[in-house]
Structure 1
Amino acid sequence: MSLRSVPIQGNRDEVDETLSNEVIASSSEKNLTAERMVSDAKVEMKFMVDKCFSDFSERMDSMLAKFDHHITNKITPILGRGYDSSSISASGEAKQSKQDLNNSHFTENIRAKPDIKCKIKPQLYDGSDDLEEYLTQFYLLAELNDWDLRSKALLLASSLTGSARALLNEMTEGERHDFECLVTMLKSRFGSINRSEVFRAELQTRVRLRNESLPELAQAIKKLTRRAYPGTSPIVSDTLALDYFIDAITETDIRLRLREVGPKTIYEAENIAVRLEALRLDI
Structure 2
Amino acid sequence: MKVLICSDGMPAAESAIELGGLLAARLKAETSLFGIAEKSQDEAPLRDALEKQAQPIRSRNVALDIIVHAGEPIREILDRTSKTSYDLVIIGARWTGATGYYWRSKKTYEVIKAIQPPVLVAIGECKHLQRFLVCTGGKLAAAVGASVTLLHVMAEPPAIYSDLVRLEEDVDQPLDSKSALGTNLRRQKRELERLGVSAQVRLRHGIVIDQVFEEAREGDYDLIVTGTSQERGLLRHYIMGDLTRSILNRANCPVLVARAGKPPPGRTLWKALKGLFSRHHE
Question: How high is the TM-score relative to the length of structure 2?
Answer: 0.22
Structure number with higher relative contact order (C-alpha < 8 Å, ≥ 6 residues apart):
2
Question: How high is the TM-score relative to the length of structure 1?
Answer: 0.22
